[in-house]
A and B are shown apart, each in its own frame.
Chain A
Amino acid sequence: MKQRRPVRRALSGITLLTAAALSLTACSSAGQAEKADVSLTDRGPISYVSSPDASGAAQQSIDAWNDTHPDEQVSWIELPLDADQQRQQMAQNAQVKGSTYTILNLDVVWTSEFAANRWITELPKDVIAIDDAIPATIAAASYRDTLYAAPYYTDGALLYSRTDLLTAAGVNSPPETWAQLEEACTAVLALPEAADMSCYAGQFDKNEGLTVNFSEAVNSANGSLFDAEGTPTVDTPEALTALNFLVDGFASGMIPQAAITYQEEQGRQAFQDGNLVFLRNWPYVYASFNATDGSSSVQSKFATSPIPGENGPGVSTLGGRNIAISSFAENKATALEFITFFTGRDQQSDRLELSSRAPVFSEFFADETVTERLPYLPDLLTSLEKAQPRPTVVNYGATTAAIQNEIYAALTGVKTPEAALADLQVALSDITSN
């Protein structure tokens, strides 16, 4: 009895607090049901939201725009370097329908998801220079044949080889097939100077890099992760061949055990220290390998080529970035104009001076003034012309997580390749069916 009154009082206090908080909830969910804004109208100041850019190339373009557009200034909102954190910030902004972010710099693999959730706005095809761009980059900026972004820069896989060792072992050209890769490995590792080396590595840590390496292997074995209708096709013989290439590589020691912890940078370091004969990586490592300050032990001892495949040159996945307009932004007319300016030919050309990121217009890949500085560009173009986007599924986060789970389990011997692929097929079917 004695207890009762105080309890009731406390309860009424809590109820009050609860009521207040619930009314807040109600307020914030009140502004539902707004329509997707398709018309790109209004002009005024906008923001450009992207990862930081050490090269200064993006800043140069923004400055150039701001000089001539005093009333439509672009302010740059820099996000953290970590891609997960960039996506998280953009998703948060979309969740609260914030108008702070106008133009989003998206990883190519996020584009479908952002488009399907109506977080980004459709772009008119006649304004963006889609004819000059490498076709795969336009495909990666589209969702269901509708253009949602403009390609900003692109990226593809290269095979880095130790030419000095290959020559010493009597191998005259970089391997084009997996069989040639394995032969070259055997030949080179027999050399006394290669005694402590391992042969091949890519990115096999449980990370986006693993999805990239696996999907490249599948595509390079003439398979695919999804068919044209979007149905997963990873329980196929082609996918098994691809996975076996990696699993057997670990088993035979062609791929060092440590490579299970490699992301891009660890592999880069291993090759640069002279511990690897072959490395699959992006073009960015070229400059580090070629450094003349003594930090690279492979300087002038390596070459690039397209990655190898099952029966001939392999198929790269497509990396890079797209530029899109947030659906919740204001001043979309200015945003569209800025995008055409920012991704246009002149700015791409100007940026090549500062940045080693690969342009999206194929004309630059043949330009000698450019290839002199970035000698891997012709190989990259070969790689990109056949490049396949990573799965363009809406729920890319879940898809890449499922791929990483199963393939990592196979590589670490937790599951047989057959079981991993069967489970992956089920997981991907679940993800795409709902």
Chain B
Amino acid sequence: MMTTTQIERQTTARRPQTVKVGDGRMAALLLSPTFLVLALVVAYPLLSAFRQSLYRSQSGLDDDGFVVTGDVFVGLGNYVNIFTGTEAGRFYNALWNTTFFTFTTVGLEVIIGVAFAVAMNRAFRGRALLRASILIPWAIPTAVSGLLWRWIFQADGVVNSITGVEVLWTAEGFAAQAAVIVAEVWKTAPFIGLLVLAGMQIIPGEIYEAAKLDGANAWRQFIGITLPLVRPALLVAVLFRMLDALRMFDLPFVLIGPRKSSVETLSILAWDESNQLNYGTASAFSIILLIYVAVIAYAFIKILGADIVEAKARRATPKKKATR
């Protein structure tokens, strides 16, 4: 097994220079629109943020009371300050909140999303209705749904009036975190549900037929067939949900409010700094967040999803060669 893989790798690695020159050019052509758009919209802001993060705006006022203009180059000063300065505690708190929210919400979303997908895939009557109701949370604009949830959770809101207990959800503490998690999971579990459903739809029906002949019950079929085959779709869904959750901003902001330490995320911190015109620090936060997201995504792909980037493509190549 090892050897074949190695052979495959070598052949695929060597081939472009010899037989497949055309593919490289074709690939460049087909990928160019995408890279053009991404370069236009993301590359420039990213580099500009990186540059900005190395500067600090002059502080202080001149004799006439005007803010002294011009930026001072501080190198990594903004970063050092974030990690060790007086506000470092706030940064670590936000880092923890961001991580905590990401893992709890994405974890719950996977469970609920897969349940959605299973139900959508199996329901026959009322299937359209089910699909519609699952889409609704995802379709409501975040600004509106944040407001809706704020209001459901407010002191005299409907949650407290149903439970009969006055919990101050929108204040601070675990209740606030719980409110954010409930609203976030509600809003984005459909995302995972839809993608997993799509993954289920391309599973050939006869695989199930065969399993049924072997006497596998529904649960065994789910574990043995469905889950492994939807795994790539699920991993992509989870990966992108993680990217989004790590940058979570609107929901805690609208639902609980800015500067509440129990729900403050890194994005909110970046917003707050830029709101106070500390553009250097704000950019540094964005770069740190970018790196943190990249590290987590890399770890995720390495641990769980190597095959979504590599293996399948390799499997396809030798067969292709065989038919030639």
Direct contact of A and B (CB under 8 A): yes
B48 at the interface (CB under 8 A from A): yes
Q: Which residues of A contact B171 (CB under 8 A)?
A: 205, 260-261, 412
A394 at the interface (CB under 8 A from B): yes
Residue of A nearest to B35 (CB): A17
A117 near B67 with CB under 8 A, answer yes
Q: Which residues of B contact A144 (CB under 8 A)?
A: 64-65
A117 near B44 with CB under 8 A, answer no
B51 at the interface (CB under 8 A from A): yes
A116 near B257 with CB under 8 A, answer no
State the Cβ distance, B14 to closest chain A Cβ, in Å: 8
Known: A25-B47, A401-B276, A405-B259. 8 other contacts (CB 8 A): A21-B39, A21-B47, A206-B257, A206-B260, A258-B156, A258-B168, A395-B277, A397-B276
Q: Which residues of B contact A401 (CB under 8 A)?
A: 259, 272, 276
A404 near B166 with CB under 8 A, answer no
List 10 A-B pairs, Cβ < 8 Å: A21-B44, A116-B65, A117-B67, A118-B66, A206-B257, A206-B260, A262-B155, A266-B156, A270-B156, A412-B172
Interface size class of A (residues with CB under 8 A): 35 or more
B13 at the interface (CB under 8 A from A): yes
A207 at the interface (CB under 8 A from B): yes
B265 at the interface (CB under 8 A from A): no
B65 near A206 with CB under 8 A, answer no
Q: Which residues of B contact A257 (CB under 8 A)?
A: 166, 168
B residues 168-187 in Cβ contact with A at 8 Å: 168-172
B59 at the interface (CB under 8 A from A): yes
B276 near A143 with CB under 8 A, answer no
Chain A interface main SS type: helix
Interface size class of B (residues with CB under 8 A): 20 to 34
**Are A116 and B66 CB-contacts (below 8 A) given A25-B47, A206-B257, A258-B156?**
yes
A258 near B67 with CB under 8 A, answer no
Question: Roughly how many angstroms separate A412 CA and B258 CA in the complex, as a whole number?
Answer: 17
Chain B interface main SS type: loop
A258 near B155 with CB under 8 A, answer yes
B-contact 0/1 string along A302-328, CB 8 Å cutoff: 000000000000000000000000000
A395 near B276 with CB under 8 A, answer yes
Question: Roughly how many angstroms separate A152 CA and B60 CA in the complex, as a whole number?
Answer: 30
A91 at the interface (CB under 8 A from B): yes
State the Cβ distance, B36 to closest chain A Cβ, in Å: 11
Question: Roughly how many angstroms separate A84 CA and B172 CA in the complex, as a whole number?
Answer: 21
Question: Roughly how many angstroms separate A398 CA and B90 CA in the complex, as a whole number?
Answer: 15
B43 at the interface (CB under 8 A from A): yes
A269 at the interface (CB under 8 A from B): yes
A88 at the interface (CB under 8 A from B): yes
Interface of A toward B, CB cutoff 8 Å:
2, 17-18, 20-22, 24-25, 28, 84, 87-88, 91, 95, 115-118, 143-144, 205-207, 257-258, 260-262, 266, 269-270, 273, 394-395, 397-398, 401, 404-405, 408, 412, 434
Q: Which residues of B contact A260 (CB under 8 A)?
A: 168, 171
Q: Which residues of A contact B121 (CB under 8 A)?
A: none
State the Cβ distance, B157 to closest chain A Cβ, in Å: 10
A117 near B277 with CB under 8 A, answer yes
Q: Which residues of A contact B21 (CB under 8 A)?
A: none
B154 at the interface (CB under 8 A from A): yes
Question: Roughly how many angstroms separate A266 CA and B169 CA in the complex, as a whole number?
Answer: 14
Q: Which residues of A contact B259 (CB under 8 A)?
A: 206, 401, 404-405
B275 at the interface (CB under 8 A from A): yes
Q: Which residues of B contact A22 (CB under 8 A)?
A: 47, 51
State the Cβ distance, A286 to closest chain B Cβ, in Å: 21
Question: Roughly how many angstroms separate A398 CA and B60 CA in the complex, as a whole number?
Answer: 14
Q: Which residues of A contact B44 (CB under 8 A)?
A: 21, 24-25
Residue of B nearest to A36 (CB): B66
B303 at the interface (CB under 8 A from A): no
B residues 272-323 in Cβ contact with A at 8 Å: 272, 275-277, 279
A-contact 0/1 string along B12-41, CB 8 Å cutoff: 010000000000000000000000000100
Q: Which residues of B contact A115 (CB under 8 A)?
A: 65
Question: Roughly how many angstroms separate A358 CA and B156 CA in the complex, as a whole number?
Answer: 31
Residue of B nearest to A430 (CB): B86
State the Cβ distance, A3 to closest chain B Cβ, in Å: 9
Question: Roughly how many angstroms separate A270 CA and B169 CA in the complex, as a whole number?
Answer: 17
Q: Which residues of A contact B47 (CB under 8 A)?
A: 18, 21-22, 25
B276 near A398 with CB under 8 A, answer yes
B2 at the interface (CB under 8 A from A): no
B155 near A261 with CB under 8 A, answer yes
Q: Which residues of B contact A206 (CB under 8 A)?
A: 257-260
Cβ-neighbour of B13 out of A2, A397, A408 (below 8 A): A2
